[in-house]
Structure 1
Amino acid sequence: MTLNKSLAGWGLLVVLGLNLRPILSSISPLLGEIRLATGLSFQSSALLTSLPVVCMGLVALVGIRVEAQLGERRGIALGLLMILLACLVRWLLGQAPALLATALLGGAGVALIQALVPAMIKRQFHHRVPLAMGVYSASLMGGGGLAALLSPLVASHFQHWQAGLGIWLLPALGALLLWAWLPLGAAKNRQVTAPLQGLRNRRAWLLALYFGLVNCGYMSMVAWLPAYYQQLGWGVLPSGSLLAFMTIFQVIAALLMPALAQRGIDRRPLLTISLLAQTVGYLGLLLAPLHYPHLWVALIGFGLGACFALSLLLTLDHRHDPREAGQLAAFVQGVGFLINAVSPWMTGWLRELTGSFVSAWVVLSVTVIAMLVVTRVFSPATYRSATVPG
């Protein structure tokens, strides 16, 4: 890449990533006001987080066909337009059906972008894939944190919660204009290769399940962390800022851990550290939520930020060819996000059933400990043969 194109590529990674989580994280700090205005129960309001993630999964699973029909240029542009429209409708309409419909629309837009970006990273940053994946992941998580922090402030300024959800059409519009202006992204390619071809199906499914389970805590945190601390007596702004605080450590981990991963090919040591951080954080929420809450949230954020970037990097390691790597990543994200979609719904269901979030933190702790055991499977020797170009 030339210098200008290189800088444009890095800038686009940041801008695209910033738009992929506000559709989710702007909801939770305002959930009390939303439930009061719409009459949604805890379990029903969890759909505002679960439905976009379901869309991410389903669209990612057909990402191969999307790439073949649209290409990166049109596909990413369409995704940004869908996010923009979802935010606009949220600002204008505040009824429960409109919120649920925009959860689907915005989720589909996010999914289109997430399905297409990994192949772009593998192709345009082929010598610095770990660093590029870190920048993309950090931007993605940073957007989520900004939304959690700023949405209540915007809602307070305009004296209406809908403004706190709708304001995120502005960065989507900016990203859409920038994407249209810069000559990046591959055109459509009608040739479709199977993402599992040349790779054992069992390994592809294992990667997908692993991606889903090591990252499922993020959706529960985004949906319920502010509500959990509001239940413990915190206000709307402090609880929303706690989610933003978690994001700071997600961003740090998403930048730091892939940069460290650049030095070797074995991802297991860094994944183990990341999963241990999550475990300690969940146990802290479970056993001593009001003692050092920022420490527990920081550990969870660090673990989640690292796991997202490292698990995607682990997936890309399995294929040399950028298109095939992107297709495998789309499959892994598709199955993984469908698993993620269950997490906030399950948390809301357990909250309705037991009257507290304690049982949800138990489930997340057990899940992460199980993934610590699974991590040992991913020795580079087990997939090195699959990375030989075909």
Structure 2
Amino acid sequence: MAESARAAPPRWLVLAAVAGIGLNLRPFLTAVGPLAPAIRGGTGLSYQGMAWLTLLPMLLMGVGAFFGPAIRARLGARTAVLGALALLGAGCALRLGVAGGAWLIASAALCGLGVAVVQAACPGLVKQEFPARVAPVMGLYSAALMGGGALGAQLSPYVNELAGSWRDALALWAVPALAALALAWVALPRGPVRQPASAPAAPSGRPPSAAGKTRALLRRPRTWLLMISFGVMNGGYASLVAWLAPFYQSHGWSAPASGSLVALMAVAQAAAALLLPALAARRLDRRAWMALALAMQVAGFAGLALWPDAAPHAWAVIGGAGLGGCFALYLVVALDHLPDPDSAGALSAVMQGGGFLLASLAPWITAMLQARTGSFAAGWWYHLACAAVVGVLTMRLDPARYGASFALPAPAGCARQPG
């Protein structure tokens, strides 16, 4: 027991690893938008083709998240995260030598697979290692994720100008991914995931498999509510990452200036992702803060659609804060629904899986609306409507109903007893 205690990494080091991992999950996406003209010129990709650089990774994040619990159960969270970071680093490094659009899209797919596994494993890991501090630690993870997106958008245009190559600017992000891999190797706890005493057993007496948990969760209406809300809301983030910089470049902005705007949006996301879960931690009912975040999204998209040149920095900050806060709060709410880390992590993975499948369509929808109307404004109106719909769905997330949402059904023929 003493040897096990000595081997346990200190809490601050685990927190640093969580933050370092989060920082690497978005730069490969946010670096693309500010470099869109250079990438289009070098590859011949159209706007619809460029949409695949965001669509495909998010699609794979969604598909991969469904397999995340099984990977975590078989390999353990530590091994799964280490392998995923290696995959992410390899995908970024391969961009150094891409010859055309197809290879660039393939590298985006490799990065998306790595991120999918990390996003499926990290929430359960947080619930396991910080059971009494889930909201603030998930806020740290979400803030780091959004902050990494800011770095990708801000630095990539300058690297492109210094190196004279958009390929170098995209491949740069292999370096922090490998650094996060080294930190995670040292900091993440070793050994199998601790099984909670209260984990439900299958009828045979054995704990349910990861696939069995996923199937059981998909039979619950609450799981679908979380997936749809999370996915429709995150579609706004996917479209802004893909098209905010090209939108303002069409208004005469330079690549570095438009990249700075995307970075500002991501910084606002990070700040809200850190702040709102901490404020919402005082009560289990997070709906008021989620409604605030969704209202900010509505305001941000309305500003982009109606008055894009009046206050672009304000729209980026308001919309980004709404998206970042809502992202983090939905991760927290998913973990709130179930008491043990394994089941809560499985629900979070399923929510992210279905959610990212939906969100992946948003950049393509926005590109199609732009092709039909000649303006990105139609896409901003679309996302404004999406935020309003998610606001209605979010009001159903009453914590008093969390237990009932995932309660086992009564056996057939058994009458419910009074009291």
Question: Which TM-score band (shorter chain)?
Answer: over 0.9
The CA deviation string for residues 310-337 of structure 1, in whole angstroms up to 9 with x for no partner, is: 0111111110010000001110000000
Sequence identity percentage: 41
TM-score computed with the length of structure 2 as normaliser:
0.89
Match of 1:342?
A: 361
Match of 1:241?
A: 260
Match of 2:142?
A: 137
The CA deviation string for residues 316-364 of structure 1, in whole angstroms up to 9 with x for no partner, is: 1110010000001110000000001000111111112211101101110
Looking at structure 1, the residues matched to 136 and 215 of structure 2 have their Cα atoms a distance apart, in angstroms, of: 26
Structure 2: gaps spanning 5 or more residues: 196-206, 409-419
Looking at structure 2, the residues matched to 214 and 39 of structure 1 have their Cα atoms a distance apart, in angstroms, of: 31
Q: Alignment partner of 1:378: what SS?
A: coil
- Which of residues 324, 335, 341 in structure 1 aligns to 2:343? 324
Following superposition, the deviation at residue 93 of structure 1 comes to: 2.0
Rg (Cα) greater in structure: 2
Looking at structure 1, the residues matched to 232 and 179 of structure 2 have their Cα atoms a distance apart, in angstroms, of: 33
**Matched AA of 2:313:** H
Asked if 1:378 corresponds to 2:397, the answer is yes
Instruction: Tell me whether 198-207 or 20-29 shows the greater mean CA deviation.
Output: 198-207
Given the superposition, is the C-alpha separation of residues 388 and 130 from structure 1 closer, same or farther in structure 2, using an over 3 Å criterion? farther
Following superposition, the deviation at residue 62 of structure 1 comes to: 1.4
- Which of residues 193, 212, 216 in structure 1 aligns to 2:235? 216
Match of 1:265?
A: 284
Given the superposition, is the C-alpha separation of residues 256 and 47 from structure 1 closer, same or farther in structure 2, using an over 3 Å criterion? same
Asked if 1:256 corresponds to 2:255, the answer is no
The CA deviation string for residues 130-149 of structure 1, in whole angstroms up to 9 with x for no partner, is: 00000000000000110000
- Residue pair 2:76, 2:192 contacting (<8 A) in 1 also: yes
Looking at structure 2, the residues matched to 200 and 264 of structure 1 have their Cα atoms a distance apart, in angstroms, of: 28
Match of 1:42?
A: 47
Looking at structure 2, the residues matched to 196 and 13 of structure 1 have their Cα atoms a distance apart, in angstroms, of: 28
Instruction: Tell me whether 188-197 or 163-172 shows the greater mean CA deviation.
Output: 188-197
- Residue pair 1:57, 1:333 contacting (<8 A) in 2 also: yes
- Two-structure CA RMSD over aligned residues (Å): 2.0
- Residue pair 2:220, 2:405 contacting (<8 A) in 1 also: no
Given the superposition, is the C-alpha separation of residues 264 and 331 from structure 1 closer, same or farther in structure 2, using an over 3 Å criterion? same
Match of 2:21?
A: 16
Following superposition, the deviation at residue 36 of structure 1 comes to: 0.6
- Residue pair 1:23, 1:107 contacting (<8 A) in 2 also: no
Q: Alignment partner of 1:349: what SS?
A: helix
Looking at structure 2, the residues matched to 382 and 108 of structure 1 have their Cα atoms a distance apart, in angstroms, of: 34
Q: Alignment partner of 1:377: what SS?
A: coil
Q: Alignment partner of 1:343: what SS?
A: helix
The CA deviation string for residues 135-193 of structure 1, in whole angstroms up to 9 with x for no partner, is: 00000000011000000111111111111100000001111111222342553799535
TM-score computed with the length of structure 1 as normaliser:
0.96
Match of 1:110?
A: 115
Instruction: Tell me whether 90-99 or 235-244 shows the greater mean CA deviation.
Output: 90-99
Looking at structure 1, the residues matched to 219 and 93 of structure 2 have their Cα atoms a distance apart, in angstroms, of: 44
Looking at structure 2, the residues matched to 173 and 279 of structure 1 have their Cα atoms a distance apart, in angstroms, of: 37
- Which of residues 66, 69, 74 in structure 2 aligns to 1:69? 74
Looking at structure 2, the residues matched to 247 and 202 of structure 1 have their Cα atoms a distance apart, in angstroms, of: 32
Structure 1: gaps spanning 5 or more residues: none
